Amino acid sequence: MLPLVVKRIESQSAGILSIELGDPDGVPLPPWEAGAHIDVQLVTRQQRQYSLCGDPADRGTYRIAVLREEYSRGASMYIHEYLREGRTVHASAPRNLFPIAPADEYLLLAAGIGITPILAMANELERRGATWSMNYAIRDGADLPFRADLDALGQKVTINSPDRAGRLDLESYLAEPRPGVAVYTCGPARFTDAVLEAMREWPRGSLHLERFEPKPAVVRANEPFTVRVEGTDVAVEVPADRSMLAALNSARVPVAGSCLRGICGSCAVRVVDGKAEHRDSLTSDEDSTTMYPCVSRALTPELVIAAPE
């Protein structure tokens, strides 16, 4: 984790603060690309993931945004009430599980705080000269976060609020599949689930989605299984009442973990033998050999994973 100083805190709307973090000695920060996020650890020892919404060309600061949550688990409340400029937080190097893939055209769809990775994507696509447009759904256009950033992007951005362009009808907007078009979306579960439903007839791979909360899932009862590490004598028993990540860490197999909810991707391991039961909110292919052991388990009595790097 990198010790970073809070350089600037700015109110973007009634419930959103943007925070700029920098190295205390002015050392350039690790590079990042649009769609990336960082893990931020506060003095409270709480650790959360935040999308980077600044300029990747700016190696001096990372900009994140934090929504004040009514039912905060602690981090949101602390940041809004107590974090001040000049204080230190710790952050991971950027990690990108939401990269921009090649496409003929891009549709960017955001709601609420989901604007953060989408804003960085819009700026990157504009720099590339790509064909793109954005729809941003928000309750009150008069309380628009990142107003200056969005205004600078011009008419390619539509603000969908009752006092601006009106409600975004996703069923109509996404009714016709468009081959060659990539759709990137981020926002509350209700919004992203509606995008997913509206795109049910689109070609596979058209939709790229990032969630802030785990997707609802119905899973089978936990069963014990064994995890072996390829090329070693390590065999770890995973009981029904313990996560695979916790079992691996107890056996001193160094697999990182952050969100522990299957949404950040920090604990990814590669399965080389056996079948994973994917319970995360990142995997779209049930045959994927990448699994997230903080929540996922095994469908076979034994899994073999590649040795963590």
The pLDDT score that the predictor gives to residue 108 is 98
Same domain? 109 vs 191: yes
The pLDDT score that the predictor gives to residue 174 is 96
Same domain? 168 vs 206: yes
Residue 96, in any domain of the structure: no
Query: CA 117 from chain center: how many Å?
Result: 8
Mean pLDDT of 261-267: 81
What does the DSSP assignment read for 68-111?
Answer: --TT--SHHHHHHHT--TT-EEEEPPPB-SSPPPP-SEEEEEEE
Residue 284 pLDDT greater than 90, yes or no: no
Amino acid residing at 238:
V
Provide the edge-to-edge strand list for the sheet that holds 269-273: 235-238, 225-229, 302-305, 269-273, 290-291
Same domain? 151 vs 229: no
Residue 216, in any domain of the structure: no
The pLDDT score that the predictor gives to residue 150 is 96
Amino acid residing at 24:
P
Same domain? 192 vs 240: no
Assess contact for 75 and 19: CB atoms under 8 A.
Answer: no
Given pLDDT bands bounded at 50, 70 and 90, which one contains residue 72?
low
Q: Which residue has the tokens 């399965």?
A: 271
Residue in 300, 298, 296 with CA at minimum distance from that of residue 281: 296
- State the residue range of the domain holding 244: 225-305
Same domain? 123 vs 200: yes
Same domain? 205 vs 109: yes
Given pLDDT bands bounded at 50, 70 and 90, which one contains residue 127?
very high
Total number of domains in the chain = 3
The pLDDT score that the predictor gives to residue 97 is 85
The predicted-structure confidence for 136-160, as pLDDT tens digits, reads as follows 999 888 899 999 999 999 999 999 9
Percent with pLDDT over 90 in the chain: 73
Among 91, 117, 144, the domain boundary falls at: 91
The pLDDT score that the predictor gives to residue 101 is 95
The pLDDT score that the predictor gives to residue 18 is 97
Residue 100, in any domain of the structure: no
Given pLDDT bands bounded at 50, 70 and 90, which one contains residue 19?
very high
Residue 217, in any domain of the structure: no
Q: Which two tokens stand for residue 100?
A: 């921009």
Same domain? 239 vs 141: no
Residue 267, in any domain of the structure: yes
> Where does residue 64 rank: exposed (0-12), middle (13-18), buried (19+ CB within 10 A)?
buried
Q: Give dist(CA 235, CA 82) in Å, integer.
A: 45
Same domain? 83 vs 18: yes
Among 66, 91, 116, the domain boundary falls at: 91
Residue 229, in any domain of the structure: yes
Top-confidence residue, 269 or 216: 269
CATH of the domain at 120: 3.40.50.80
Percent with pLDDT over 70 in the chain: 98
Measuring CA to CA, how many Å separate 10 from each of 17, 46, 92? 6, 22, 22
**CA dihedral defined by 147, 150, 153, 155, rounded to 10 degrees?**
-90
Residue 255, in any domain of the structure: yes
Torsion sign, CA atoms 179, 196, 16, 159 = positive
Residue 229 pLDDT greater than 80, yes or no: yes
Same domain? 189 vs 277: no
Same domain? 231 vs 184: no
Average predicted confidence (pLDDT) for the chain: 91
Q: What is the DSSP letter of 18?
A: E
The pLDDT score that the predictor gives to residue 290 is 92
Residue 116, in any domain of the structure: yes
Assess contact for 35 and 47: CB atoms under 8 A.
Answer: no
Same domain? 275 vs 236: yes
Top-confidence residue, 213 or 85: 85
Residue in 295, 112, 308, 283 with CA at minimum distance from that of residue 229: 308
Top-confidence residue, 265 or 113: 113
Same domain? 26 vs 82: yes
The pLDDT score that the predictor gives to residue 256 is 83
Q: Mark out the alpha helices in the chain (DSSP H runs).
A: 75-81, 115-128, 147-152, 170-173, 189-198, 244-250
Among 59, 91, 123, the domain boundary falls at: 91
Measuring CA to CA, how many Å separate 272 from each of 33, 203, 289, 306? 29, 29, 7, 6
The predicted-structure confidence for 81-124, as pLDDT tens digits, reads as follows 999 999 999 999 999 989 999 999 999 999 999 999 999 999 99
The pLDDT score that the predictor gives to residue 71 is 63
